[in-house]
Chain A
Amino acid sequence: EAQLVESGGGLVQPGGSLKISCAASGLTFTDFAMHWVRQASGKGLEWVGHIRTKPNNYATVYAASVKGRFTISRDDSKNTAYLQMNSLKNEDTAVYYCARRRGNHLDLWGRGTLVSVSS
Protein backbone atom coordinates (compact mmCIF):
# COMPACT_ATOMS: atom_id res chain seq x y z
CA GLU A 1 0.00 0.00 0.00
CA ALA A 2 1.34 3.42 -0.97
CA GLN A 3 2.07 5.64 1.99
CA LEU A 4 3.67 8.95 2.87
CA VAL A 5 4.91 9.65 6.39
CA GLU A 6 6.05 13.07 7.54
CA SER A 7 8.43 13.50 10.45
CA GLY A 8 10.68 16.02 12.11
CA GLY A 9 8.17 18.59 13.27
CA GLY A 10 8.53 20.33 16.60
CA LEU A 11 8.92 23.58 18.47
CA VAL A 12 11.37 26.15 17.15
CA GLN A 13 12.04 29.75 18.06
CA PRO A 14 11.34 32.61 15.66
CA GLY A 15 14.27 33.06 13.34
CA GLY A 16 15.25 29.42 13.73
CA SER A 17 15.46 26.56 11.28
CA LEU A 18 13.91 23.15 10.95
CA LYS A 19 14.03 20.39 8.35
CA ILE A 20 11.10 18.04 8.00
CA SER A 21 10.94 14.84 6.01
CA CYS A 22 8.43 12.90 3.96
CA ALA A 23 9.19 9.20 3.58
CA ALA A 24 7.44 7.32 0.80
CA SER A 25 6.77 3.61 0.65
CA GLY A 26 4.78 1.31 -1.60
CA LEU A 27 5.21 3.54 -4.65
CA THR A 28 7.81 4.32 -7.31
CA PHE A 29 9.01 7.53 -5.72
CA THR A 30 11.08 8.62 -8.70
CA ASP A 31 7.96 8.85 -10.89
CA PHE A 32 6.26 11.60 -8.94
CA ALA A 33 6.60 15.27 -8.15
CA MET A 34 6.16 15.91 -4.44
CA HIS A 35 4.24 18.81 -2.96
CA TRP A 36 4.13 20.41 0.47
CA VAL A 37 0.90 21.92 1.80
CA ARG A 38 0.41 23.48 5.22
CA GLN A 39 -2.55 24.26 7.44
CA ALA A 40 -2.56 26.58 10.42
CA SER A 41 -4.88 25.59 13.24
CA GLY A 42 -8.49 26.27 12.29
CA LYS A 43 -7.48 27.65 8.90
CA GLY A 44 -7.55 26.46 5.31
CA LEU A 45 -4.99 24.71 3.17
CA GLU A 46 -2.02 26.68 1.85
CA TRP A 47 0.16 25.32 -0.96
CA VAL A 48 3.83 25.71 0.01
CA GLY A 49 5.75 24.37 -2.97
CA HIS A 50 6.81 21.38 -4.99
CA ILE A 51 9.77 19.52 -6.40
CA ARG A 52 9.59 17.75 -9.71
CA THR A 53 11.34 14.57 -10.82
CA LYS A 54 14.86 13.97 -12.12
CA PRO A 55 13.81 14.10 -15.81
CA ASN A 56 12.43 17.57 -14.98
CA ASN A 57 15.72 18.57 -13.36
CA TYR A 58 14.27 18.46 -9.86
CA ALA A 59 12.71 21.86 -10.56
CA THR A 60 11.16 23.60 -7.58
CA VAL A 61 8.48 26.26 -7.21
CA TYR A 62 7.47 28.02 -3.99
CA ALA A 63 4.63 30.10 -2.68
CA ALA A 64 5.49 33.76 -2.29
CA SER A 65 5.03 33.52 1.48
CA VAL A 66 7.97 31.10 1.83
CA LYS A 67 10.15 31.88 -1.18
CA GLY A 68 13.73 32.57 -0.17
CA ARG A 69 13.24 30.99 3.26
CA PHE A 70 12.12 27.44 2.47
CA THR A 71 13.87 24.87 0.28
CA ILE A 72 12.40 21.63 -0.99
CA SER A 73 14.71 18.76 -1.89
CA ARG A 74 14.52 15.04 -2.41
CA ASP A 75 16.74 12.00 -2.08
CA ASP A 76 15.45 9.42 -4.54
CA SER A 77 17.79 6.77 -3.10
CA LYS A 78 15.97 7.13 0.22
CA ASN A 79 12.46 7.66 -1.23
CA THR A 80 12.29 10.83 0.83
CA ALA A 81 11.41 14.46 0.24
CA TYR A 82 12.47 17.28 2.53
CA LEU A 83 11.37 20.75 3.48
CA GLN A 84 14.14 22.93 4.91
CA MET A 85 12.64 25.91 6.70
CA ASN A 86 14.83 28.87 7.65
CA SER A 87 14.10 32.26 9.18
CA LEU A 88 10.94 30.84 10.66
CA LYS A 89 8.16 33.19 11.69
CA ASN A 90 5.24 32.76 14.07
CA GLU A 91 2.92 32.60 11.07
CA ASP A 92 4.71 29.50 9.78
CA THR A 93 3.14 27.54 12.64
CA ALA A 94 1.05 24.84 10.98
CA VAL A 95 0.62 21.20 10.21
CA TYR A 96 2.76 20.43 7.18
CA TYR A 97 1.57 17.77 4.75
CA CYS A 98 3.45 16.20 1.88
CA ALA A 99 1.50 14.91 -1.07
CA ARG A 100 2.15 13.01 -4.24
CA ARG A 101 1.24 14.60 -7.52
CA ARG A 102 -0.30 12.23 -10.05
CA GLY A 103 -1.21 13.91 -13.31
CA ASN A 104 -2.47 17.30 -12.18
CA HIS A 105 -3.81 16.41 -8.77
CA LEU A 106 -2.62 15.37 -5.32
CA ASP A 107 -3.87 11.86 -4.86
CA LEU A 108 -1.88 10.64 -1.86
CA TRP A 109 -1.26 12.63 1.32
CA GLY A 110 0.66 12.00 4.50
CA ARG A 111 -0.85 12.53 7.93
CA GLY A 112 1.15 15.67 8.54
CA THR A 113 3.70 16.92 11.05
CA LEU A 114 3.20 19.89 13.35
CA VAL A 115 5.66 22.76 13.26
CA SER A 116 5.29 25.32 16.04
CA VAL A 117 7.21 28.59 15.94
CA SER A 118 7.21 30.33 19.29
CA SER A 119 9.55 31.89 21.81
Chain B
Amino acid sequence: DIQMTQSPSPLSASVGDRVTITCRASQSIISYLNWYQQKPGKAPELLIYGASNLQSGVPSRFSGSGSGTDFTLTIRSLRPEDSATYYCQQSYTPPFTFGPGTKVDIK
Protein backbone atom coordinates (compact mmCIF):
# COMPACT_ATOMS: atom_id res chain seq x y z
CA ASP B 1 0.00 0.00 0.00
CA ILE B 2 1.08 3.58 -0.63
CA GLN B 3 1.72 5.51 2.58
CA MET B 4 1.01 9.23 2.73
CA THR B 5 2.65 11.64 5.17
CA GLN B 6 1.96 15.31 5.79
CA SER B 7 3.82 18.15 7.47
CA PRO B 8 3.63 20.20 9.50
CA SER B 9 0.94 19.27 11.96
CA PRO B 10 -0.44 21.24 13.51
CA LEU B 11 0.16 24.61 11.91
CA SER B 12 -0.59 27.99 13.45
CA ALA B 13 -0.54 31.11 11.30
CA SER B 14 -1.92 34.62 11.18
CA VAL B 15 -4.52 36.09 8.88
CA GLY B 16 -2.80 37.17 5.68
CA ASP B 17 0.07 34.70 6.01
CA ARG B 18 1.18 32.44 3.18
CA VAL B 19 0.76 28.85 4.34
CA THR B 20 2.30 25.75 2.80
CA ILE B 21 1.43 22.16 3.65
CA THR B 22 3.54 19.32 2.35
CA CYS B 23 2.38 15.83 1.42
CA ARG B 24 4.71 12.97 0.56
CA ALA B 25 3.88 9.59 -0.95
CA SER B 26 5.90 6.45 -0.28
CA GLN B 27 6.19 5.85 -4.03
CA SER B 28 5.51 7.79 -7.18
CA ILE B 29 1.85 8.62 -7.70
CA ILE B 30 2.55 10.79 -10.73
CA SER B 31 -0.06 13.55 -10.27
CA TYR B 32 -2.84 11.46 -8.72
CA LEU B 33 -3.00 13.61 -5.61
CA ASN B 34 -6.03 15.36 -4.17
CA TRP B 35 -6.48 17.82 -1.33
CA TYR B 36 -9.53 18.06 0.90
CA GLN B 37 -10.57 20.55 3.55
CA GLN B 38 -12.59 19.46 6.56
CA LYS B 39 -14.12 21.71 9.18
CA PRO B 40 -15.31 20.36 12.55
CA GLY B 41 -18.52 18.38 12.31
CA LYS B 42 -18.60 18.64 8.52
CA ALA B 43 -17.84 16.33 5.63
CA PRO B 44 -14.60 16.82 3.73
CA GLU B 45 -14.69 19.07 0.68
CA LEU B 46 -12.51 18.77 -2.40
CA LEU B 47 -10.09 21.66 -2.90
CA ILE B 48 -7.51 20.49 -5.43
CA TYR B 49 -7.46 17.46 -7.72
CA GLY B 50 -4.78 16.05 -9.96
CA ALA B 51 -2.16 17.81 -7.82
CA SER B 52 -2.80 21.29 -9.22
CA ASN B 53 -6.37 21.66 -10.49
CA LEU B 54 -8.61 23.95 -8.49
CA GLN B 55 -12.06 22.49 -7.84
CA SER B 56 -14.92 24.67 -9.07
CA GLY B 57 -16.01 27.19 -6.46
CA VAL B 58 -12.82 27.01 -4.43
CA PRO B 59 -11.16 30.41 -3.84
CA SER B 60 -8.12 31.14 -5.96
CA ARG B 61 -5.93 31.72 -2.89
CA PHE B 62 -5.67 27.91 -2.74
CA SER B 63 -3.21 26.23 -5.07
CA GLY B 64 -1.46 22.90 -5.40
CA SER B 65 1.74 21.73 -6.98
CA GLY B 66 4.05 18.76 -7.22
CA SER B 67 4.41 15.41 -8.92
CA GLY B 68 5.95 12.04 -8.24
CA THR B 69 6.22 11.77 -4.48
CA ASP B 70 6.25 15.37 -3.21
CA PHE B 71 3.30 17.74 -3.24
CA THR B 72 2.32 21.03 -1.66
CA LEU B 73 -0.88 22.85 -0.86
CA THR B 74 -0.49 26.61 -0.59
CA ILE B 75 -2.90 29.14 0.84
CA ARG B 76 -1.73 32.46 -0.55
CA SER B 77 -3.27 34.77 2.06
CA LEU B 78 -4.80 32.97 5.03
CA ARG B 79 -8.33 33.94 6.01
CA PRO B 80 -10.20 33.12 9.25
CA GLU B 81 -12.52 30.73 7.41
CA ASP B 82 -9.52 28.64 6.34
CA SER B 83 -9.22 27.26 9.87
CA ALA B 84 -9.69 23.54 9.19
CA THR B 85 -7.91 20.24 8.77
CA TYR B 86 -6.41 19.54 5.36
CA TYR B 87 -5.92 16.03 4.00
CA CYS B 88 -4.08 14.80 0.97
CA GLN B 89 -5.18 11.58 -0.75
CA GLN B 90 -3.56 9.50 -3.44
CA SER B 91 -5.83 8.18 -6.19
CA TYR B 92 -3.12 6.36 -8.13
CA THR B 93 -3.93 2.87 -6.93
CA PRO B 94 -6.23 1.33 -4.30
CA PRO B 95 -6.35 1.49 -1.37
CA PHE B 96 -6.71 5.22 -1.97
CA THR B 97 -4.95 6.28 1.19
CA PHE B 98 -5.24 9.62 2.93
CA GLY B 99 -2.53 11.51 4.72
CA PRO B 100 -2.90 12.00 8.50
CA GLY B 101 -4.13 15.56 8.07
CA THR B 102 -2.75 19.00 8.90
CA LYS B 103 -4.78 21.12 11.29
CA VAL B 104 -4.48 24.82 10.50
CA ASP B 105 -5.22 27.20 13.36
CA ILE B 106 -5.52 30.95 13.14
CA LYS B 107 -3.38 32.84 15.66
Contacts and interface: CB of A to CB of B under 8 A. Distances in A.
Interface SS of A by simple majority: strand
Nearest to A106: B46
In order of increasing CB-CB distance, the 7 nearest A-B pairs are A105-B49, A109-B43, A104-B91, A61-B94, A45-B98, A105-B34, A44-B101
Interface of B: 1, 32, 34, 36, 38, 42-46, 49-50, 55, 85, 87, 89, 91, 94-101
Given A44-B87, A45-B87, A105 B95 contact: no
A103 interface: yes
Nearest to B87: A45
B44 A109 contact: yes
Contacts, number: 63
Given A45-B98, A111-B42, 20 more contacts: A37-B44, A44-B87, A45-B36, A45-B87, A45-B101, A47-B97, A50-B96, A61-B95, A64-B1, A97-B43, A103-B50, A104-B34, A104-B50, A105-B34, A105-B91, A106-B36, A106-B46, A106-B89, A109-B44, A112-B43
Contact of B100 (A44, A47, A62): A44
Contacts of A47: 89, 94-98
Interface SS of B by simple majority: loop
Nearest to A35: B96
Contacts of A75: none
Contact of B34 (A97, A106, A111): A106
Contacts of A76: none
A9 to B, nearest CB: 14
29 contacts: A35-B96, A37-B98, A44-B98, A44-B99, A44-B100, A44-B101, A45-B36, A45-B38, A45-B44, A45-B101, A47-B89, A47-B94, A47-B97, A49-B95, A50-B94, A61-B94, A61-B95, A97-B43, A104-B32, A104-B91, A105-B49, A105-B50, A105-B55, A105-B91, A106-B44, A106-B89, A107-B46, A109-B45, A110-B43
